Chains A and B, each alone.
Chain A
Amino acid sequence: MTRFGGILVAIAAVTAVAAPFFLKPFGIFLISTWAVLTIAAIGLNLTLGYAGQISLAQGAFVGIGAYTVALLTPAGVPFFVAFMAAGLLCFAIGWILGYPALRVQHHYLAFVTLAFTTLVFLVLRNEEWLTNGIYGITGTPRPNLLGWKTSGARDFYFLCLGTLTMLSLATWWMLRSPWGRAFLALRENPIRALSLGLDTRRYTLMAFAIGSSLGGLAGALYAPLVQFIEPNSFSFGLSFNLLLMVIVGGSGNFFGPFVGVLIAVLLPEWLRITQGYYLIAYAAAVMVILVFCPTGVLGLIERTRRLVRHKVTGTPPLTSGAGP
Chain B
Amino acid sequence: MASFIQLLVSGLATGAIYALIAVGFTLLWQTSQTINFAQGEFVMLPAFFVLAAMNAGAPFWLAVLIGISLSVLILGILFKVVVVDPMLKYGVLPLVISTIALSLLLKESTKDFYSSQAQPFPALVPAIDVHVFDAVVSTQSLAVLAVAIVTVVSLNLLLNRTRLGRQMQATAQNATLARILGVPVRRMVLYTFLLNAVLVAIASILVSPIYLAKFTNGETLGMAAFIAAIVGGFNQVRGAILGGIILGVLDNLSAAYISSQYRGAFPLIVLIIVILLRPQGLLGRIEERSV
Are these two chains actual partners, yes or no?
yes
Q: B-contacting residues of A (Cβ < 8 Å)?
A: 48, 54, 100, 103-108, 110-112, 114-116, 118-119, 122, 125-126, 191, 240, 243-244, 247-248, 251, 276-277, 279-280, 282-284, 286-287, 290-291, 294-295, 319-320, 322-324
Residue of B nearest to A128 (CB): B261
**Chain B, range 76-130, C-beta contacts under 8 Å to A:** 83, 86-87, 89-94, 96-98, 100-102, 104-105, 108-109, 112
13 A-B pairs with CB atoms under 8 Å apart are A103-B276, A104-B276, A115-B272, A118-B264, A118-B265, A240-B37, A244-B101, A247-B97, A277-B112, A280-B108, A282-B104, A290-B97, A324-B93
**Contact of B210 with A by CB under 8 A:** no
Once the chains are docked, how many angstroms separate the CA of A283 from the CA of B99?
A: 10
Given contacts A244-B97, A290-B87, 4 further A-B contacts (CB under 8 A): A116-B272, A118-B268, A119-B265, A283-B105
A119-B268, A280-B109, A287-B102 are contacts. A112–B93 as well, Cβ < 8 Å? no
Contact string against A for B residues 196-213, beta-carbon threshold 8 Å, 1 for contact and 0 otherwise: 000000000000000000
* Contact assessment for A283 and B35 in the assembled complex, using a CB-CB cutoff below 8 Å: no
Whether the pair B275, A104 counts as a contact (CB closer than 8 A) is: yes
Contact indicator A107/B234 (Cβ below 8 Å) = yes
Interface residues of B (CB under 8 A from A): 29, 35, 37, 83, 86-87, 89-94, 96-98, 100-102, 104-105, 108-109, 112, 226-227, 230, 234, 261-262, 264-265, 268-269, 271-272, 275-276, 279, 289, 291
Who on chain B is nearest to A243 by CB? B97
Q: Are A103 and B264 in contact, with the CB atoms below 8 A?
A: no
Q: Are A247 and B104 in contact (CB under 8 A)?
A: no
Task: Please state if B105 and A247 are interface contacts (CB–CB under 8 Å).
Answer: no
- Could you tell me if B104 and A294 are in contact, using CB atoms closer than 8 angstroms? no
Top 9 closest pairs, chain A to chain B, by CB: A294-B90, A283-B105, A115-B268, A294-B94, A286-B101, A283-B104, A283-B101, A279-B108, A126-B261
Contact B97 A104 (CB under 8 A): no
- How many angstroms from the CA of A291 to the CA of B89 in the assembled complex? 11
| Distance between Cα atoms of A324 and B91 in the complex (Å) | 7
Determine the residue in chain B with the shortest Cβ distance to A107.
Answer: B35
Q: In the docked arrangement, what's the CA distance between A113 and B291, Å?
A: 24
Out of A111, A243, A251, A291, name the residue touching B275 (CB < 8 Å).
A111
Question: Once the chains bind, are A106 and B92 in contact (CB under 8 Å)?
Answer: yes
Chain B residues whose CB sits within 8 angstroms of the CB of A103 once the complex forms? 276, 279
Asked if B93 and A115 make an inter-chain contact with CB atoms under 8 angstroms apart, the answer reads no
Find B90's partner among A48, A106, A118, A322 (CB 8 Å cutoff).
A322
